[in-house]
Amino acid sequence: MRAMNLADALVAAGHSVTIWSSAFYHQETRHRASEYQCINISSSLEVRLIPSPGYVRNIGLGRLFDHLLLAWNLKQILKNDGGIPDVAFIGFPPIEFAYSAVRYLNGKGIPYMLDAKDMWPDYFVEKIPSQLRFMGRVIFYPWFLLTEYSFKHAAAFSTISNGYLSWMYRVSRRDSNPLDIVAPTSTTYKNEAFADNADIITTWAKNGVLIGQHKIFYYAGTINKTLDFDSLVYTAKKLADIECQFRLVICGDGPEKENLQQQFNGLNNVVFTGWVNKDMLYVLAKNALASLIPYRNSETFAMGIPNKLSDALSIGVPVISCLGGEVNRLINDNEIGFCYDHDKSEQLLARCLNYLNNPKLFLNYSKKAKQIYKTRFDFEVIYGALVKNMNELGKMQK
């Protein structure tokens, strides 16, 4: 999505763009094409899909194998069909894909901006028990080398937060330069009138969610072990006991979905929908009291700002999270929702009850959510700045 948004902005600015991407669609774990494919979106935009075997689990050897073959296939295709762009924008991770692209660009003398959205391979090591992390760094040492090489040769950095940018400086061992940019994930406004779409409201009602009547909290995304719903389970149970017009709506799928459903078993105020389309999600979000960001605290998550946050802020939805770091500071400093300690269920319950019973609090949070979006996450401002920096990079071609 980030690459496509930037591509659209570059095309609008008069540039021709080619996107190189995996034929395997990570979000839905499915293949978009079975072989190398070139798709002409317009006279100024082309997408090239690189084949790879794909994977089922987000964390596992299958994904590592997929990324290795993806990078190898990219390398082979670039030899014959690469072209020589003025400038490149490389998404990181995957580590191997980025490295393969970097080697090609360096050989052609083409400057590139490296865009980091996840702290790989540090994130891999973080998942290992603390007493075994030294061994983890040994195992993943090749990936650390590939990452350092890609970062070190980048003409400029782009990333989602100041914390991530500091990490990129540490990995690359270089100082900042004027073209480095913090560009949080951002989205565009939809037509406000669409939030009253009668057909979609009816569909939600069939799923047990009454738009305009229920007090809705929602989570939308992959359901995996990075999430911590324990305090939310406790809160949902207590709210069910007092017959509050509350609905916790969980949109998405993933390896932990069945386990999470079991935790909420028997609660009629919790709804699992599976994946929903963008229109369904927009109507839900526009009529919700809060977007949930219940990620487990870790160094990598605490240093970033997930795209779920900017998505919510763009339509004035307050945010509730147990994350520390950047997200905690953003929420508390700007009064756009509230935070809670992941292991203090009573704290979350008390804050939810106060929020649910205080409509003025929602209005205050919602107003400030829109304000902070316009000042820090505005789509036009962020992608306009990226286009400007890419133009400057293009002048550096050797």
pLDDT of residue 26: 81
Same fold, 2-186+378-394 and 192-376: yes
Averaged pLDDT score across all residues of the chain: 92
Question: Residue 150 phi/psi, 5° resolution?
Answer: -65, -40
User: CB of 62 within 8 A of CB of 56?
Assistant: yes
Return all residues near 111 (Cβ < 8 A) that are at least 6 apart: 87, 88, 105, 155, 156, 393, 394, 396, 397, 398
Residue 44 identity:
S
- Rounded-to-10 torsion of CA 366, 368, 374, 377: -80
Distance from C-alpha of 383 to C-alpha of 10, rounded to nearest angstrom: 9
pLDDT band at 394 (very low <50, low <70, confident <90, very high): confident
**Quick one: 2-186+378-394 is in which CATH superfamily?**
Glycogen Phosphorylase B; (3.40.50.2000)
Token readout for 167 is: 């990490």
pLDDT of residue 130: 83
For the stretch 226-252, pLDDT in tens is 899 999 999 999 999 887 899 999 999
pTM score of the predicted model: 0.84
Return all residues near 284 (Cβ < 8 A) that are at least 6 apart: 204, 209, 211, 216, 218, 249, 251, 276
Domain boundaries, the chain: 2-186+378-394, 192-376
Question: Residue 96 phi/psi, 5° resolution?
Answer: -70, -40
Mean pLDDT of 146-166: 95
Distance from C-alpha of 382 to C-alpha of 183, rounded to nearest angstrom: 6
Was domain 192-376 assigned CATH 3.40.50.2000?
yes
Closest C-alpha among 346, 339, 246 to residue 294: 339
- The whole-angstrom distance between residue 141's C-alpha and the CA centroid of its chain comes to 26
Strands of the sheet containing 156-159, edge to edge, are 88-92, 112-116, 156-159, 181-182
pLDDT of residue 195: 64
